[in-house]
Structure 1
Amino acid sequence: MSTGHFAADRLGRMRSVMAGHVERGDVPGLVWAVSRGGETHVEAVGTLALGGTAPMRRDSIFRIASLTKPVTAAAVMILVEECRLRLDDPVDKWLPELADRKVLRAVDGPLADTVPADRPISLRDLLTLRFGLGAIMEYPIRYPIQHAMEEAGIAPSADVFRGAPDDYMKRLGGLPLAHQPGDGWLYHTGLDVAGVLVSRAAGRPLSAFMQERIFAPLGMKDTGFFVPTEKVYRFATAYSRDVQTGKFTVYDEAAGGLFTRSPAFESGGGGLVSTADDYLAFQKMLLGKGKLGSTRILSRASVELITSDHLTPEQKDSAQMFFNGNSGWGFGMAVALKRDNLWMTPGRFGWDGGYGTSAYADPTEDIAGVLLTQRMMDSPEAPKHYVDFWTSAYQALA
């Protein structure tokens, strides 16, 4: 039996598979949504907190972590379309802390052993994560630049920076770049910097700009950088999980936690909270080439640019744990390049979040999907409930 865009019996299989992860104790709860051709299915299973009685709901709120990155890229492109920013202009005007950069002669070398940057950092460098700083995937950390980022409190991690944006930029500007602008790919930091740039260029907080230009027009009523008191009852507790024992530990409480008050630093790389319906609206806007219903957020040209691969083969090869030989990176999100799994259609775009979230849209199949959990990722490898969600979504296509 088919519902038109999905096979009804296979949606039932999806529900059973995803509920199984809760029943086995893999996650306390899940909310997921799939949409195709105007047909949307949303399900909620489990509880907001481990051992709690409050059930997961369709409108439960989650920390979406790096699913923030595509939203920040969209905010940037709104300003580019208005010619208030240009992709290849130096960012020095808005981010003077990044002017006149020094670059490490070798990524593992002393901080003082530098050469001048070949050119200024551009906005394009920030969006593609090629500006010169970010997560250097060498563990345990041993390079001087890794230690310096840790000591400055700006190393990419699950913990969002808690100081003011100006303080963040001052700390970042005190470090040399790990590579020449545009040369390498380092995860995360460029989108935090892009968020600061949007705020400065727009002359208001990043949250205010996103609210006016993205959230309100798309009806994303529960998306922002913190959860207001009157909505905390819908907010999921966040957990980390010990890989060896399977034991859950509270990372951030719902009531009174880090995301229940307005932050000093609105992280464009990972600071948003949202719901399944809210984020699905954003995904459907991108799937609609910048338009949702009668509301246009971006031009078709911008969406095509955002969702195109911008990395060289060498840059992708240097970050295998992120790209797996089958993906590249656009502006703030991954882009599938070849089909090697059920869900890996070339052109599919989106990203995953370290607090336990996953959202992608596929123009070829006209499908958008969002999975929200409160179990933090414990490795770059996708957890089984991610794999099963996307497998289930694609096997259910009519």
Structure 2
Amino acid sequence: MKIEKPELVGLSSERLKDFDKMLMERYIGPNKLSGTQTLVARKGSIVHFHSQGKRDIENNLPVDENTLFRIYSMTKPVTGVALMQLYENGSFQLSDPVSKFLPEFNNQEVYVSGSYPLFMTEPVKRPMVIRDLLTHTSGLSYSINYRSHVDDAYRKIFKISDPTASLVSKEKVDLEEFSKRVASLPLEFSPGDQWLYSVSIDICARLVEVISGKKIDKYFSDHIFKPLKMEKTSFYVKEDDLKDLAVCYHRDENKKITIHDPGDAKSRYSAPRDFNGGGSGLISNAKEYYRFLQMLLNGGELDGERILSRKTIELMTLNHLPDNNTMADMGSSGSFSEVRYNGMGYGLSMAVTTDPAASQSPLSKGSYNWGGMASTYFWIDPKEDLLAIFMTQFIPSDAFPLRPQMATMVYGSFID
């Protein structure tokens, strides 16, 4: 991997290193995190890349440039790109009802009272449309949301005891069956009324399958990963690459880190699975995910391969919430999110900064970002021609202020 000098693009080498020093002193050294990896690129060049700590504490294996990470919800923008490729070829409009392609979403009802399986419901004010899915305003929910009887029903219909382990049980459930079960439950609210983090992007992946005629893993490979030379990015880790898979850790009730998923053949990512969701599930490394992000920042192209048009990416990264509302405006403050609510709108599969002051972040207006359950994170700032990636493997993602700390220190390195 070629690394340019940060000063050539208006960044300070020493200040960028300060973030990695802070991570070591505050998190890795005191055994709060196992290891980290940071990547910063500006004006088309990687100018900072640093790995430190362990990808496997128990076996004393270091984080290095080949380390593979579970990126969880950083899968969502990949699904968004896949669906928008089909939008570009005229296969659908954002205003199309979801039921046009997935008939199980006909005649949806909204939760009023009761618990699974005995619900009282009322009809939706309007049908769910595809844009509702891409913006998490569909009314769907998530098994990881512990806030209502509907959330509880998501856990029951898939027989889930630990939503951080899997969205579905060990049953053979593919995206088709997943979509049908989700559609059988009432919505939390009528589409467009609120923002709620949900399985919406998993349903987008099912739309990709139905419209393209390809399974989601095959579609990703053919139309995104192969053109971008993302050879290791996949829903599972091939046997020869298991040596590079990081252990995923979580914090127990005593605030000690313990193994959540091993980095070997016992990992649930060590073999193909029936359920490949569009909302989570990909394995990648920083240098390959960088290629995906640089393609977005370039306006849809990388090394001569066109993935999307510039105008489609501009459309995706606008705030699509009604009346230019933020996630906070849409009543989301009681639910889980991978980013802050204030000053953040939502585009087509990722958050968009609408008000830097309200977000208390130096990200420019129009920047877009998202993270994953194991504390991974990225952002793209088109105004500054900047992107950044943070990789680690630690659950939960909101235990430490890693993301705002990285943003503050990266922007603090500007010297132009």
Per the TM superposition, whether the score is higher than 0.5 is yes
SS of aligned partner of 1:113: strand
Give 4+ residue runs of structure 1 displaced > 4 Å after superposition.
Answer: 106-111, 136-139
CA contact (8 A) 1:31 1:42 kept: yes
Whether contact under 8 Å (2:33, 2:257) holds in the other structure is no
Q: What SS is found at the alignment partner of 2:56?
A: coil
Q: Greater CA deviation, 304-313 or 261-270?
A: 304-313
State the Cα distance separating 1:356 from its structure 2 match: 1.8
1:227 lines up with 2:232 in the alignment: no
Q: 1:366 aligns with which of 378, 385, 404?
A: 385
Letter of the structure 1 residue corresponding to residue 366 of structure 2: G
Tell me, yes or no, if the aligned pair for 1:107 and 1:179 is still in contact at 8 Å: no
Aligned match of 1:320 in 312, 320, 333?
333
Q: Secondary structure at the match of 2:67?
A: coil
Q: Give the drift of 1:390.
A: 2.1
CA offsets 1:244-287 (integer angstroms, 9 cap, x no match)? 53211211112121111111111100111111011111111111
User: CA RMSD, aligned part only?
Assistant: 2.4
Structure 1 position 60 matched with structure 2 position 60: no
Structure 2: 5+ residue stretches without partners: none
- Pick closer, same or farther for the CA change 1:193–1:352 going to 2, 3 Å: same
* C-alpha contact (below 8 Å) 2:232/2:284 kept by paired residues: yes
- Of 43, 50, 54, the residue aligned with 1:47 is 54
Query: What is the SS of the residue equivalent to 2:49?
Result: strand
> Is 1:283 paired with 2:293?
yes
Residue 153 of structure 1 corresponds to which residue in structure 2? 158
Report the secondary structure of 1:360's partner residue: strand
Q: Determine if contact 2:32/2:256 at 8 Å carries over to the other structure.
A: no
Partner of 2:401: 384
Give the secondary-structure state (helix, strand or coil) at the position aligned to 2:55.
Answer: coil
Q: How far apart are the structure 1 equivalents of 2:230 and 2:135? A: 26
Higher mean Cα deviation, 68-77 or 98-107? 98-107
- Length-normalised TM-score, structure 1: 0.92
1:151-230 matched pairs, under 5 angstroms: 151-153=156-158, 157-158=163-164, 159-162=166-169, 163-230=173-240
Q: What's the offset of the Cα at 1:72?
A: 0.5
The CA distance in 2 between the partners of 1:109 and 1:61, in whole Å, is 39
Q: CA separation of 1:250/1:109 partners in 2, compared to 1, >3 Å: closer, same or farther? A: closer
Alignment partners' CA distance in 2, 1:22 and 1:314: 34
Shift of 1:79: 0.3
- Higher mean displacement: 206-215 or 337-346: 337-346
Number of the residue aligned with 1:394:
411
Cα deviation 1:113-166 (Å, max 9, x = unaligned):
222233332111110111111149974x4x432322221128893223252222
Q: Which of the residues 255, 258, 272 maps onto 2:268?
A: 258
Long gaps (5+) in structure 1: none
Equivalent residue, structure 2, for 1:3: 7
Whether the 8 Å contact between 2:116 and 2:149 is mirrored in structure 1 is: yes
1:123 — aligned with what? 130
Query: 2:369 aligns to what?
Result: 350
Return the TM-score normalized by structure 2.
0.88
Per mean C-alpha deviation after superposition, the further-off stretch among 196-205 and 228-237 is 196-205
Contact conserved, 1:241 with 1:378, CA < 8 A, in 2?
A: no
1:248 maps to 257
1:206–1:292 CA distance, 2 compared to 1 (3 A): same
Aligned residue for 1:167, secondary structure, equals: helix
The more displaced of 224-233 and 1-10 is: 1-10
- 1:85 deviation in Å? 2.3
Determine the structure 2 residue equivalent to 1:22. Answer: 28
Q: What's the offset of the Cα at 1:104?
A: 2.2
Percent identical among aligned pairs is 30
Structure 2 distance, partners of 1:107, 1:348, is 41
For 2:8, the aligned partner's letter is G
Contact 1:356 1:374 in 2 (8 A): yes
* Amino acid in structure 1 at the alignment position of 2:372: G
The count of residues paired between Structure 1 and Structure 2 equals: 393
| Change over 3 Å in CA distance of 1:2–1:138 after alignment to 2 | closer
CA distance in structure 2 between the aligned counterparts of 1:13 and 1:283, rounded to whole angstroms: 24
* Alpha-carbon distance change, 137 to 60 in structure 1, aligned in 2, over 3 angstroms: closer
Number of the residue aligned with 1:296: 306
* Equivalent-residue separation in structure 2 for 1:388 and 1:363 (angstroms): 20
**1:44-94 deviation per Cα after TM superposition (whole angstroms, max 9, x unaligned):** 111111232221111210000110111110100000001122211122232
Q: In the alignment, is the contact (CA less than 8 A) between 2:42 and 2:386 conserved in 1?
A: yes
